[in-house]
């Protein structure tokens, strides 16, 4: 891969992760789906690519989102305003950026750039409800836990895309957290089926988890 894309976490293991990094950096791929169990690098590699693209000024902004699975009644019991209620569900996305930032020394230019991205809202994590009715151009858009989306929600996201926007959907169709969807009716499976053969689309399945042996054991047996 080009040297400019070899940020500290870019150490893909095996052909599938290498191909995933290739698709992430391919400007001809506007919609990319990565499926596989937890710990395979789906969201982390997408975040690393988005950060590099923003540093290189190839995009103007990074937006991350993930569905808030609990119903409104469950969220309502949490203290605080709507942002306080939703933030716990967005925290795993912030963890990815904290991990990337911590690969650099605090005195480095890259560490300061990442910090400034957040402060200047060039890097934004939002619930899906906040993107309805908006249009996004020059955006690197990452959708985590996409298996918990409905086909309608998937269409809503893609229909918001303007020029020079890349959308990455990451998820595991075997780990659906909502009782209203299954491995066939969820939006991620729907999208994979509908976009087959389209030039702007690629799909990669990541099989081996790299998080830890314990996490891999859980994925296999539990």
Q: Say what the pLDDT of residue 114 is.
A: 87
φ, ψ at 101 (rounded to 5°): -60, -40
Q: Say what the pLDDT of residue 3 is.
A: 44
Give per-residue pLDDT as tens, 30-62.
999 999 988 898 999 999 999 989 988 999 999
DSSP codes, 174-217: T----TT--TTTSHHHHHHHHTTT-TTEEEEE--S--S-HHHHH
Query: 177: pLDDT confidence band, cut at 50, 70 and 90?
Result: confident
Closest CA to 172 of 126, 218, 140: 218
* Residue 90 pLDDT greater than 80, yes or no: no
Give per-residue pLDDT as tens, 107-161.
988 888 888 988 898 998 887 777 776 788 999 999 999 999 999 999 989 998 9
Q: Say what the pLDDT of residue 102 is.
A: 86
108 CB-near residues (< 8 Å, 6+ apart): none
Decide: 165 and 200 in contact? Cβ < 8 Å.
Answer: no
H or E element at residue 169: strand 166-171
Give per-residue pLDDT as tens, 63-84.
998 887 543 444 444 455 545 5
Put the strands of the sheet holding 61-65 in their side by side order: 123-125, 61-65, 139-143, 166-171, 31-35, 201-205
């Amino acid at each position: 891969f080009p040297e400019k894309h070899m940020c500290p976490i870019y150490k893909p293991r095996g052909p599938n992760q290498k191909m995933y990094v290739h698709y992430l950096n391919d400007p001809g791929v506007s919609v990319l789906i990565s499926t596989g169990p937890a710990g395979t690098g789906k969201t982390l590699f997408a975040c690393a690519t988005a950060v590099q693209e923003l540093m290189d000024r190839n995009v103007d902004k990074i937006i991350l989102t993930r569905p808030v699975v609990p119903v409104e009644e469950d969220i309502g019991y949490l203290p605080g305003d709507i942002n306080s209620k939703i933030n716990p569900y967005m925290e795993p996305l912030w963890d990815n950026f904290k991990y990337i930032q911590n690969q650099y020394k605090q005195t480095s230019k890259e560490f300061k750039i990442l910090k400034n991205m957040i402060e200047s809202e060039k890097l934004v994590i939002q619930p899906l409800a906040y993107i309805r009715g908006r249009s996004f151009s020059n955006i690197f858009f990452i959708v985590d836990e996409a298996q918990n989306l409905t086909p309608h929600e998937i269409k809503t996201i893609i229909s918001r895309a303007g020029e020079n926007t890349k959308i990455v959907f990451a998820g595991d169709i075997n780990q659906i957290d909502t009782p209203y969807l299954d491995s066939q009716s969820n939006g991620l499976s729907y999208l994979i089926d509908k976009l087959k053969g389209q030039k702007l689309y690629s799909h990669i399945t990541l099989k081996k988890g790299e998080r830890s042996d314990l996490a891999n054991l859980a994925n296999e047996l539990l």
